[in-house]
Structure 1
Amino acid sequence: MLSRQTLFWLSRAYDLPGSDGRFLRAVRDNCAYHIKHCPEYRAVCQAEGFSPDQVQTVDDLAKLPVLPTLFFKRHHVSSMPRWRLSFEVTSSGTSGSFSRVGFDWGCVLAEVPMVLRLGFYHKLVSPRPANYVILGYKPGRQDKMGVARTMFGLTHFAPPLSRFYALRWKDGGYVPDLEGAARRLARCARSPFPARIVAFPSYLWFGMQQIEELGLSMRLPRGSKILLAGGWKQHYAQEVDKPRLYALAERVLGVKEEDIHEFFGAVEHPVFFNTCKKHHFHIPAYSRVIIRDVRTLEPLPMGEVGLVNLITPLINATPVTSVMTDDLGYLTPGEDCGCGLTAPFLTILGRAGLNDITTCAAGAAELLGKGEMP
């Protein structure tokens, strides 16, 4: 399916108008593939009277059948036999329901150049080795969590000298080691090589607070970065604004605001969203976002708050062309940002309140809550 490669090998990573034609062709081909190979998706399309040839303009993307992420947490659907998959990931690994999303080899060949292109654009790629401290799960055969894969993937933008994980698998479960993480950061501060911290924002905030309360601080080497993946999840009531988080990182770790990067994505939508220098999530050419009314699901204009609908033709193995998240957000014209990008940017406000969804971050938070800082 060359239309997918043609889109994801696009060099102009934020040129939405210039990529519209490629995006629409890839979406039509992707939908046609799922209709042919996935009975459940075909039934949904037939029930809605949808066919791929209805997608001729960007506005027509709203006609795509929208499957909520909750659907994938309760039903396993596939457009490809398992033996043809490159790998499979899940959205949660500790408790509750979870999505299972398969990745085909064509997806991998499209995803790698996308990640590298955006990594270079945002100056994440460096030939200088780094020591990594990951406030998250250590990947292994015992789980297939997408968040573990994402965090592990982020350790490849600079050659890893070492990787330390705050959550490790032991005796059938994950065991937190926050004390070890603090010790490793202290060692990183004495190293001539930069450090890179990969973490959920909430874990970083709580960890740095405890370090500061103990009267401790450290200065990580020049070139060190903080890479934040995911949101505040069930800690949304304790969420702090970004300036406070960045200020604490500079006080406690010596990492300046320009060296803090945030990422947004989902197992069901593994497109690389990275904040710009103004800390906004501009939509890359490999994705489109529709904000929908929470009651009618009709598309909303720029600036209005609703449910976030994510669209990409990246995956053939699972019918996730158009998925509805349980996130509330809104879009803003790119020109309002001031970073130079003209692509609209997405602001996530929080979860819509689906209590029966347990996320990977929620499960990890429970585990990390059992640990104590030194």
Structure 2
Amino acid sequence: MITMQQNMRWYGPHDGIRLRDIRQCGVTGVVTALHQIPVGEVWSVDDIQERQRMIVEEGMEWTVVESLPVHEDIKRQGGDYQQYISNYKKSLEHLAECGLKVVAYNFMPILDWVRTDHAFVNPDGTKALLFDEIAFIFFDVFLLKRRGAESDYSKDKVEEASEYGKTLSKDQKDQLFKNVLLGLPGSDESFTPEKILELLDAYKGIDDQTLRSNLVHFLSEVAPVAERVGIKLAIHPDDPPFSVLGLPRVVSTEEDLAQILSEVPVNANGLCYCTGSLGAHPDNNLSRIIDTHGDRIHFLHLRNVKREDGKRFRESEHLYGDNPMEEIIEKLLLLMDKNGAALPMRPDHGFLHSLEGAEKYPGYSLIGRLKGLAEIRGVELGLAHKLKI
């Protein structure tokens, strides 16, 4: 019986959740990255091996790199982007030398992910992540004051956002600003509206077509290297899977995925199949993605979402939401059985339970992820027995 390779994400030595805590969840694999190395610099063999040593000493292995980040110059194809691509290749070679097999990354401009509320309170008192378009419009138009932002939204929605803003205190407005920018790499820094607007200016004139072309250029250079050294690249879908701050998006829909995979047709160029990010787009058929691109799925993020009116969604329990998780897990089991190999998986995000109090990384509390892992394990084992595989 081939089941998914179970992992937990760890942010490194400064993570409030320790490796020992993760080991006690029953997993044998850790998903992590060298967050201390500035984006664009080469990851050395010594640094990679030091991280491996920490994990092995706790009885686990480093199974997936998440993420080896892509420098903004590569996304914009400006500045020293060719040097950064060269550095990326060297890092891949060093990771392969150390035995790593899967590298996740994303191609989202500036913001890696966006939520407007990191502490949405569920009926049982647990807290979840939520994206609300109206709150985001208020941030964009009235707090950030991005030039031309109003033209990206309907007049009715801008008026609704304005009224929404009138209900917020100064502290609530400050919290909204911080919430949105938490997905900005290096967001422990104090980012001012002026700094964010400066970053956005660097993307003027770059539309979806240009960003897609830049992604294909990047992949045409790095994917052959990954193929040669035995590494699978897994691109993470856009989160959320639609434009924010007027920025282009090219990994949001089934059509986007098909184009990325067909433009660079080597197996190393593959997907991080994130049911949460893909599931936030109502037009994506998650089961069909497995049917169509199963052999190019290299890494799994399993979680669920509940879509509400318009572009508003909240992260729900792992098994209950708009994503058909039982059907998805069954298809993944059949895919792994056909290929004769387990796919690495981690339970992506989870509710914050009151026992844990505040934590640094929203969505990455231990109890919530452990609950999700246990639920996914149960469904997986039950289906495996039913399918007799």
TM-score with structure 2 setting the length: 0.29
Richer in helix (by share): 2
Richer in strand (by share): 1
